[in-house]
Amino acid sequence: MAYSDTYGQVYNVQTLIDHAARRCGKLAEELTSEQLLTARQSLGFVLTNLINIGIQYWAIKKEVIGLTTDKYIYTLPVGANDVLNALYRTMNRPTGSYSTSAGGTVYYVADNDIDTYCQQTSANGNIAVNFGTDNPVYAGSIGVLPYVSGGGSATWTFTLEYSADGTTWNTLQNVGTVAVTDNQWLWYDIDPGQTVQYYRIRASGGTTLALREFYVGNNAREITMSRLNRDDYTNLPNKNFTANQPYQFWFNRTIPQPEIYLWPTPSDPFVQMTVWYSKQVMDVGDLTDELQIPQRWYLATLAMLSHQLSLELPAVPLERVQYLETQAEKYLNLVEQEERDRSPVYFAPNISVYTA
């Protein structure tokens, strides 16, 4: 007997719309351009609403945010919905010998002083660190603190690389083209990490590097941060109180991007906050694009789209609309039963003596 021997077939937007239309009693080729647009928008509404159902485990992301002295408000990326875990993180910074291929005072990239910087004099250079013979270092995370003249923003293209001999270099992480802002950290967790003698940041695409700090870190230590509700945060008498360890936060679910308010206000520019957050599913793109959903969600998504489309298309009988609604509820329930974490759950009631 022959089998396909393949897994993970994906379907594009057009395919789902065609099936949804047929479930509404319409041939796919009957749909006008306006109705196709309506179908795409209805699909977008369905995917947007998934965040209200619960945590979708494929839509969880990690963000490492470098903290800035005297700054207590930090913005999460576009599409972020809610903080699942926030952790205060510190790391070791092994001592090494730094070099620059394109000029500048390289000492400044590792002097633990964010007010100094190494400005290279030509494009597409690199800044490297050598941890010494017989002293390979495991890099768990690399931080880049840019300098931009005038305190503004710029666009850089660069790659993080590693080498065992200082001659042959391999890609650790191809960062690509990113927007950088003066004195705002870019942190990259390396998974899997490497244990080698040499690391470097290499610019390309005409980028001229200017770094306040180039931080190769390891042995990260993370401590859970406590979440404050709005009343607790707003009632704090001194919201600008500073300390080395901001262990509490209030999550402000504002638009267009949610914000994290730290307390106390950080005073150490060499620590980080690791945030695990739930996020929206990506928007519906062109008809030929795929959806950012796992294979197990296709039928439920199709059923929900069919119901929504039956409310938009003309002359769909009421009994068919009601049937499609029942099917949408059925398949959504099935897929939500599967969308779960099977790890053990522990309950620890906090029972204590009440005193007046």
Supply the pLDDT for residue 203. Answer: 98
103 CB-near residues (< 8 Å, 6+ apart)? 119, 120, 121, 122, 125
> What's the rounded Cα separation, in Å, for the pair 352 and 356?
13
Bridge partners, 181 (sequence order): 153
Retrieve residue 246's tokens.
């901001």
What pTM was estimated for this model as a whole? 0.90
> What's the rounded Cα separation, in Å, for the pair 103 and 112?
20
Radius of gyration of the chain (CA): 26
Bridge partners, 60 (sequence order): 278
Retrieve residue 268's tokens.
């150490």
Question: Nearest 5°: phi and psi at 294?
Answer: -75, 165
The beta strand positions in the chain, using DSSP E, are 60-66, 73-75, 80-92, 97-100, 118-119, 126-130, 137-138, 141-146, 153-163, 170-181, 186-189, 195-196, 198-203, 210-224, 226-228, 242-243, 248-252, 259-263, 265-266, 272-279
On whether the CB atoms of residues 216 and 137 are closer than 8 A, the answer is: yes
Residue in 259, 266, 285 with CA at minimum distance from that of residue 73: 259
Provide the residue-wise pLDDT of the chain in tens; the chain has 356 residues: 789 888 888 999 999 999 999 999 999 899 999 999 999 999 999 999 999 998 899 999 999 999 999 999 999 999 999 999 999 999 999 999 999 999 999 999 999 999 999 999 999 999 999 999 999 999 999 999 999 999 899 999 999 999 999 999 999 999 999 999 999 999 999 988 899 999 999 999 999 999 999 999 999 999 999 999 999 999 999 999 999 889 999 999 999 999 999 999 999 999 999 999 999 999 999 999 999 999 999 999 999 999 999 999 999 999 999 999 999 999 999 999 998 888 887 777 766 655 55
> What's the rounded Cα separation, in Å, for the pair 144 and 139?
14
Supply the pLDDT for residue 349. Answer: 77
